[in-house]
Chains A and B, each alone.
Chain A
Amino acid sequence: MPNVDDKQVGHVSDNVIQFQSVRKQFGEFVAVEHADFSIARGEFFSLLGPSGCGKTTLLKMIAGFEQPTSGAILLDGADVSMVPPYKRNVNTVFQQYALFPHMSVLDNVAFGLRSKGAGTAEARREAAEMLEIVRLGDFRNRRPTQLSGGQQQRVALARALVNKPSALLLDEPLAALDLKLREAMQLELKRIQRELGITFVFVTHDQGEALTMSDRIAVMSKGRVEQIGTPEEIYDRPAGIFVAGFIGSANLLPGRVNASGSSVDLEMGATIDVADTSGHEPGTEVTVMIRPERLEPYNGEMKPNSSFVGEIKDVIYQGSEIGLIVHLDSTTEIVATIEPDDMNASVVPGGLITLAWVPDAPFVMPGRSAIVGATTTDVDEVQATMAGTDLGSGKNDGDDSSLGSNLGRRALLVGGGLAAAAVVVGGVLAFTGNGGGSNVDGDDDEGALGSGGSSTLGSGSNQVRILNWQAYVDPSEDGAIGTVDRFIEATGVATRYSEDFNDNNEVYNRLIAPVVGAGQKMDYDIICPTNWLAARLRTLGWIEPLPLDLIPNRVNLEDRFLNQKWDFGALYNLPWQAGITGIAYNPSLTGREFTTVADLWDEAIRGRVALLTEMRDSVGLVMMSLGYDPSTLDEEAAMEAIGVIEEQTRSGQIRAFTGNEYLDGLRRGDIAACIAWSGDIVQLQYETDEIEFYIPEEGGMSWYDTMVIPKGADNGVAAAEWMNFVYDPVQAAQLTYWVQYISPVKGVKEELIKMGGDAADLAESQILFPDEATAARLKVFANLPEDVEARINDRFLGVTGA
């Protein structure tokens, strides 16, 4: 055990720390000024002062957390002003200990040794020894949070001391402890310091603590060191009024040295003798300090110039001593502490008392004190103790919400046979709800519409709700009035026209099957599925027969739509628009003219080809390129075509399967060629002349989107009114002029010619009005039985990656 019991600290020339004209400034604020002193080896040195006096800044500059603005700090004789903390052989005990919460006590203490390169075992052994010294040997495996404040304090001490630093820096280490523990720790710190002989630099605002523990104290105020000295020097011979007031309690009495040179005329009127004027000339303004414990009750005759008489205002019992607050006159209040033995019946509030002192008790300091009389007994500023508030990080467990689905609300059972019967009966709906909770006409006060008694179509006529595809109706813009607005104007029917129809499969699975399939009404009176999906809905009995007698304009329906197999006589649907699926390409990217489906597989446009997610379009075209006819049911051929698509997908030829988004790709040049819908491209050609559209040599696909009325729709009359309106050739021509698809309405061509201008040009378009030869090259995808459709679809979706 090192044992430095050399107490002649004042004379030791071996300085651990030296401040040389150190100044520290934070912006405008001067934290430390003219710090110019040394701390000797083995010394217990305190920096004492109120908060904000710069004592902690000084400590941080020793540790290296702050650098002096000017001046130098020497550690063991070497200038360390700019040396980072981890290279300085000093250690700090932090105010709130700053123990590493994720490490055991032992690892906390071993931290510094590990940093310096000691092996784990070696470091832990030394750490364990140090824990014994601070009497925490049994706690080595605990976490810091499991220890009391005093124990944490000792861990922090051990963690610093184990490194055998040149100096140990303690930043108000006892502030967080309660009184009893604080007193015990003061003794403990002294003991440890004595045992290890390490220099302690102790920062505190508690003067009692500083006096108890220190060999020397530096009292600081407003960035300046006011006095450095032993506790006795500082207490008995303070360098100034601040020190006198800050250390312990004091009675300060301003006055002037009088002509005698050995007494002071106080401002309050009295004159007192002083043993020593500290060299002040007569007439100099001074302050006389008398410590409260130097005042004693006196019962003899008045001693001139060395006693006061005053009125007791308060008696404060403090156990070992008794505090008296005494008024000398109306403005001067002093304190005195007396022994309990000196108490008697006259020492009561309101009583008079004579207080006297020994000649050397008054101490003369320069300057006039602002405080007259007693300073506060306790200068303990209420330090805002930084309570380490621990905001627990609330880890939110994400709730996996699952899709709930409604099992067993099945209201309908539809078989193929039943649907076939409907065709035979023709016009009259053959379907009847099987009693499983069909609520379609339950509360419909407008009654059912239609010729068949079993029709569930509502007869509402005031409003109509339409679900159609995007960009499929001319909007009201640029001064033109769109179809929807023209309809509203003409009929007064409130119309809700929505463009949320994105994808046949999705609309079927999301909006139709779970609703109509469960016997409920859709939120729409007209929906616009593509012909194949309309056929499925027809088979399932999920659409209403049209109230044809309310749609006189249906006579304008092109004949070819009347003899479709799935709806012979077109009793359940009115086509909205028809289109051709062909190929769009950008000749500047392909570098040559494209004419076939197989051109899509050109190496030159690898990774720039898109196919449609619409299975019938993509598979149909590829089937034709393989020499098959997609209009006849041939599962094997379809699968073979999907095989080709799969190969081209896996090889990276195909970049994407898209809906309408291929338009963005074409515009940007990400897509050089793709399967596309005719009307889209005709519209796109208004923007750019770079994109060409062709019906492949092998043939193109033909399709049409329908208007159908979902089962049980409320507004049959209004729906019929809409259909009738758009089947007026004048209206239909307006629509065609904007959407650029093939109109199913007779007379549109003539109307367009009548409109003149570029509308008339459209009448010449092969894409809008294909001639016989072109029409012959277009195929409609075969009707697929549900199991075949499921298999083909599944395989196709697999290829697209879904």
Chain B
Amino acid sequence: MATTPADTRSVRVDKKIPYVLILPGMLFLFVFFIVPLITLFKISLSTKPNPLLAEYEFTWEWGNFTTAFDDFGGQLGRSFFYAGVATVLCILIAYPIAYFIAFKAGTYRNVVLGLVMVPFFTSFLLRTIAWQSLLNDSGPVLSFIEAISLDGFLGNIGLLEDGRILNTDTAVIGGLTYNFLPFMLLPIYVSLEKIDPRLVEAASDLYAPFASAFRRVILPLSLPGVFAGTLLTFIPATGDFINARFLGNPNTSVIGNVVQSQFLSRNDYPTAAAISFVLMAIITTAVVIYAAMLGTEDIA
């Protein structure tokens, strides 16, 4: 009864088929990723003979990379700082929500998930600008903080600037956190949802109280989700300029603002390209280090 029919693989799979199938994808990547990347790299090594014209000559001008660091180190540093803090906040906020949805929401799972996602059907830009009306000097957030007399304390720990939230670091980080939350939440949710609840029972059965079971079983098993969420949050947050533009001030500008301005206001493609490459290189390095850290950590 419990016999499986012999695996008779009579149809021989043509070994070429998989390669043929990935061809369109590879071609797409080549045309729309590799070629532009090379082009961009070439631009980053070019000079601009006429500051007003969108044209440049390829001259192996490595100076653009020096400019990227020398002139825009501050923005670069801020980008990573803001993105880093926002990513950590996203993890802290998204994890419990994802946990709740995966393990506690029961039949309301999809409803709660839907509620989390609904605001994100409106445009990114619109949502960010909407934050201006929440955070402005006479807006509800500040009024509430003042009503509960928290403004002094928040000012002292540097979250408010002269009693303001809008156009401060706090607002930029808050905006980034808000805007990228679903990109953290969904992967964590997916990884938590995949965890067999019996593993948690098993841990409990093996004398582990909840905190211990969480630390030793749930958390390590959900790390792939945290990792994916971190990538999906940190990388775009690093390049984001919308939040700094609408919620920050001239002193909170990030590298995205510079790239935008280099492309659109200064028409300086070589510097913009160089900055983009520096950003790409740093992000890649950071991700590799992060992956290595998560991968080798002895969790058990």
> CB within 8 Å of B: which residues of A?
63-65, 84-87, 90-92, 94-96, 98-104, 107, 111-112, 115-116, 159-160, 163, 178-179, 388, 390-391, 393, 395, 398-405, 407, 410, 503, 505-506, 508-510, 513-514, 517, 536, 540, 606-608, 649-650, 652, 654-657, 664, 668-670, 786-787, 789-790, 793-794, 797-802
Q: How far is the CA of A664 from the CA of B139 in the complex (A)?
A: 13
A393 with B204, Cβ < 8 A, contacts A102-B221, A405-B269 known: no
User: In the assembly, what is the distance between CA of A231 and CA of B248, in Å?
Assistant: 78
CB distance from B100 to the nearest CB of A (A): 19
Q: How far is the CA of A429 from the CA of B102 in the complex (A)?
A: 71
A179 to B4, CA, bound (A): 12
Beyond A86-B205, A393-B228: 6 further Cβ-contacts under 8 Å?
A95-B198, A98-B199, A104-B300, A400-B37, A402-B36, A670-B138
Binary per-residue interface labels of chain B (222-251) against chain A in the complex, 1 for a CB within 8 Å, 0 otherwise: 001100100110011000000010001111
When chains A and B are docked, how far (Å) is the Cα of A96 from the Cα of B138? 59
A670 close to B29 (CB less than 8 A): no
A407 pairs with B198, CB closer than 8 A: no
1/0 per residue, CB under 8 A from A, across B114-149: the answer is: 000000000000000000110011110000000000
Contact of B300 with A112 in the complex, beta carbons under 8 Å: no
Given known pairs A98-B198, A401-B36, A402-B276, the reply for A510 and B264 (CB within 8 Å) is yes
Given A104-B300, A669-B137, A802-B261, residue A607 in contact with residue B204 (CB < 8 A): no
State how many angstroms separate the Cβ of B283 from the closest Cβ of chain A. 9
**Contact between A607 and B208, CB atoms less than 8 A apart:** no
Q: Are B2 and A801 in contact (CB under 8 A)?
A: no
Number of A-B contacts (CB under 8 A): 216
A-chain residues with CB within 8 Å of residue B300 when the two chains form the complex: 100, 102-104, 107
Q: Say whether B52 faces chain A, with CB atoms less than 8 Å apart.
A: yes
- Measured between C-beta atoms, what is the minimum distance from A99 to chain B in Å? 8
Find A656's partner among B33, B133, B250 (CB 8 Å cutoff).
B250
What is the bound-complex CA distance between A786 and B2, given in angstroms? 84
Contact of B216 among A111, A786, A798 (CB under 8 A): A111
| Closest B residue, CB atoms, query A90 | B205
CA distance in complex: A410, B50 (Å): 13
B67 vs chain A, min Cβ distance (A): 11
Nearest-Cβ distance from residue B53 to partner chain A, whole angstroms: 6
Q: Is the CB of B162 within 8 A of A607?
A: yes
In the complex, what residues of A have CB within 8 A of residue B268's CB? 794
In the assembled complex, which residues on chain B have CB atoms less than 8 Å from the CB atom of A503?
265
Q: Which of A513, A668, A787 contacts B53 (CB 8 A)?
A: A513
Chain B residues whose CB sits within 8 angstroms of the CB of A391 once the complex forms: 194
User: Smallest Cβ distance from B56 to chain A, in angstroms?
Assistant: 8
- On whether the beta carbons of B205 and A403 are closer than 8 Å, the reply is no
Would you list 19 pairs from A and B whose C-beta atoms are within 8 A, ordered by A residue? A63-B201, A63-B205, A64-B204, A65-B204, A85-B205, A115-B206, A178-B2, A393-B190, A395-B224, A399-B32, A401-B33, A401-B36, A403-B263, A404-B36, A652-B249, A656-B167, A786-B50, A802-B253, A802-B265
**Interface hub of A85, A95, A178, A404 (most chain B Cβ within 10 A):** A85
Contact assessment for B53 and A517 in the assembled complex, using a CB-CB cutoff below 8 Å: yes
Q: Which of B260-290 contact A (CB under 8 A)?
A: 260-261, 263-269, 276, 280
- B201–A94 touching, CB < 8 Å: yes
B190 touches A649 (CB 8 A): no
Give the interface of B toward A (CB within 8 A): 1-2, 29, 32-33, 35-37, 39-40, 43, 50-56, 71, 75, 132-133, 136-139, 161-162, 164, 166-167, 187, 190-191, 194, 196, 198-199, 201-209, 212-213, 216-217, 220-221, 224-225, 228, 231-232, 235-236, 244, 248-253, 257-258, 260-261, 263-269, 276, 280, 299-300
A159 to B198, CA, bound (A): 15
A101 touches B257 (CB 8 A): no
- Tell me whether A86 and B161 are in contact in the complex, defined as CB-CB below 8 angstroms, given that A393-B224, A670-B136 are known contacts: no
Q: Chain A residues with Cβ under 8 A from B132's Cβ? A: 664
CB of A112 within 8 A of CB of B206, answer: yes
Among B43, B221, B300, max chain A CB count under 10 A is at: B300
Whether B207 contacts A513 by the Cβ 8 Å rule is: no
Q: A115-B212, A163-B207 are in contact. Are A652 and B251 (CB under 8 A)?
A: yes
